[in-house]
Chain A
């Protein structure tokens, strides 16, 4: 039997000792050992009851996960506040696939999707549309308050919740997310503590124009790894108000810090809630400095390897929206594609073009005239995670383009700046 290092209440110790069943004891042991590894002093209650799980895809090879889910269900365990999930992996209607792709996606790769979603429903899934990496969109409804304690995973969602919403969540792994949510308890360490939210880096933005969020986030992620950065000088470019535009910027910026590094929280001076409240007192003693100027961003941009087998050929498919596009971003991309094609005198996009967004955002967008106009260009809107499309080994030979630094990092997709990608799509 595992002997915990942290302080447990009598009730928590009873769970660990198996008095509420063997499965719950294993769940508790996992959470306690996880906390002990990080010198957590105790378990604290999850105050935002709705969880968010990163493992949304029924990959056939995830047998250990399905077995564990079955054990939780058999033990009568579930997440009382419900939970959202990362995006579903396939959408044959909107993401064109050949017959071989279809077979691979629906049998070999994600053959367990149906069975897995049945498990998720039994464990507390918050409805059929609860699948987006951007669960914090208003349309998704999983929006924690400042100071809330969460049991979430998905690096970009944790990053956003901590940084933009001021909630508190560690960079939990898949499975730790549901274990904490089932227990309603998470270990108190790291980003849950005031000390852990202090910045070990002061990042000074000295660019001559608004930095591209995907590249700025990448540069900072690569530099600070898992540390917390306190960013000064960015507010001159993106303002001091958290509106749709800045939230979208921070979503993409944060996802790049989390995927190119391991950033779970950042502060932007005069903008993000804790930076507004506490200012540079958030800087930890002995913090380091990193200056980001135009040359540094160019250096980072140029460092991205091109993994296409034939880099001189043109791209065949463009994915936009990883993390999922917000409603404002989706509208903006649709406008840019529709108007860009008018400008170039072309009727159709030059390559398969896929815009990814959250299911409720997509459903609303589908009701608009703009959606019908967009469809005429050949572009499509989907709810999938493009990363899961690229898990198909057959796609490795396709020349995938993206303006997402996260997708670039985890696949052989080639990174393009938004403007470059748009110009390609509209044949400029």
Chain B
């Protein structure tokens, strides 16, 4: 069991499965396919990201450094939140980037989403957590790998 403390972007409690990307997550490439297909779950579709490609992200704690790619990213995140197929938590090892940040705020302010977002968890967090691990997230930004 290992504990990390990050900055709270949007708070919440969560206990569940982690999916880990060691490289930047391309929001458009990852989520667009499932959103267009009006899927009930997001299956990560970014061919350039072998860490998460083909994995189910809905309801999971997506652990990542940052997001990358098209500036539709924030809006895409808002859409999947409105469809309620989003990862339940976004756990950033680095400072949140502008696209993911916008996506979280748009989702919270305009969609009333309860998506949890914590950033600045540090590189050690990303080096430690593995896909399939159970993580517990508290309102104060504490993330525990169980």
A136 to B113, CA, bound (A): 36
A261 to B25, CA, bound (A): 10
Residue among B71, B73, B110 with most chain A CB within 10 A: B71
Q: Which residues of B contact A307 (CB under 8 A)?
A: 47
Binds B, one of A169-177, A230-238, A343-351, A369-377: A169-177
Measured as residues with beta carbon below 8 angstroms from the partner, the interface class of chain B is: 35 or more
Q: Which residues of A contact B37 (CB under 8 A)?
A: 393
Contact of A172 among B9, B32, B65, B102 (CB under 8 A): B102
A109 to B36, CA, bound (A): 8
Contact of B66 among A37, A59, A262 (CB under 8 A): A262
Q: Which residues of B contact A173 (CB under 8 A)?
A: 71-75, 98-99, 102-103, 106
Q: Which residues of A contact B69 (CB under 8 A)?
A: 155, 259, 262, 409-410
Tell whether A26 pairs with B109 under 8 Å between CB atoms, given A38-B98, A172-B102.
yes
Instruction: Evaluate contact between A34 and B72: CB separation under 8 angstroms.
Output: no
Q: Which residues of A contact B38 (CB under 8 A)?
A: 61
A309 within 8 A of B: no
Q: Which residues of A contact B109 (CB under 8 A)?
A: 26, 29-30, 33
Instruction: Evaluate contact between B70 and A155: CB separation under 8 angstroms.
Output: yes
A305 within 8 A of B: yes
A139 within 8 A of B: no
Instruction: Evaluate contact between A34 and B36: CB separation under 8 angstroms.
Output: no
Q: Interface SS of chain B: helix, strand, loop or mixed?
A: helix
Closest to B27 in A: A173
Tell whether A154 pairs with B71 under 8 Å between CB atoms, given A30-B105, A171-B99, A391-B32.
yes
A412 within 8 A of B: yes
CB distance from A137 to the nearest CB of B (A): 19
Chain A 368-399: CB-based contact to B (< 8 A → 1; otherwise 0): 00000000000000000000000101000000
B131 within 8 A of A: no
Measured as residues with beta carbon below 8 angstroms from the partner, the interface class of chain A is: 35 or more
The A42-68 residues at the B interface (CB cut-off 8 A) are: 54-55, 59, 61-65, 68
Instruction: Evaluate contact between B71 and A34: CB separation under 8 angstroms.
Output: no
Tell whether A158 pairs with B36 under 8 Å between CB atoms, given A190-B98, A262-B97.
no
Contact of B78 among A64, A158, A409 (CB under 8 A): A64
Chain B 49-83: CB-based contact to A (< 8 A → 1; otherwise 0): 00000000000000001111111111100110011
Instruction: Evaluate contact between A30 and B106: CB separation under 8 angstroms.
Output: yes
Q: Which residues of A contact B74 (CB under 8 A)?
A: 173-176
A226 within 8 A of B: yes
Q: Which residues of A contact B98 (CB under 8 A)?
A: 34, 38, 170-173, 190
Contact of A37 among B33, B68, B101 (CB under 8 A): B101
Instruction: Evaluate contact between A54 and B70: CB separation under 8 angstroms.
Output: yes
A175 to B75, CA, bound (A): 7
A64 to B68, CA, bound (A): 22
Closest to A187 in B: B98
B132 within 8 A of A: no
CB distance from A215 to the nearest CB of B (A): 15
Q: Which residues of A contact B96 (CB under 8 A)?
A: 37
Contact of A174 among B9, B33, B66, B75 (CB under 8 A): B75
Q: Which residues of B contact A26 (CB under 8 A)?
A: 109-110
Q: Which residues of B contact A95 (CB under 8 A)?
A: none
A26 to B110, CA, bound (A): 8
A29 to B82, CA, bound (A): 19
A225 within 8 A of B: yes
Chain B 28-53: CB-based contact to A (< 8 A → 1; otherwise 0): 11001101111000000001100000
A347 to B38, CA, bound (A): 44
Beyond A61-B35, A174-B73, A261-B68, 15 extra complex contacts between A and B, CB < 8 Å: A30-B106, A34-B98, A54-B75, A63-B82, A155-B69, A170-B98, A173-B103, A174-B74, A174-B75, A175-B106, A226-B24, A305-B47, A305-B48, A307-B47, A410-B26
A-B contact pairs, 19 of them (CB 8 A): A34-B98, A37-B96, A61-B35, A61-B83, A63-B82, A64-B82, A153-B71, A155-B69, A172-B98, A173-B73, A173-B75, A175-B74, A176-B74, A176-B102, A177-B71, A190-B98, A225-B24, A225-B65, A259-B70
Query: Which positions in A face B, CB cutoff 8 Å?
Result: 26, 29-30, 33-34, 37-38, 54-55, 59, 61-65, 68, 109, 153-155, 158, 170-177, 190, 225-226, 259, 261-262, 305, 307, 391, 393, 409-410, 412
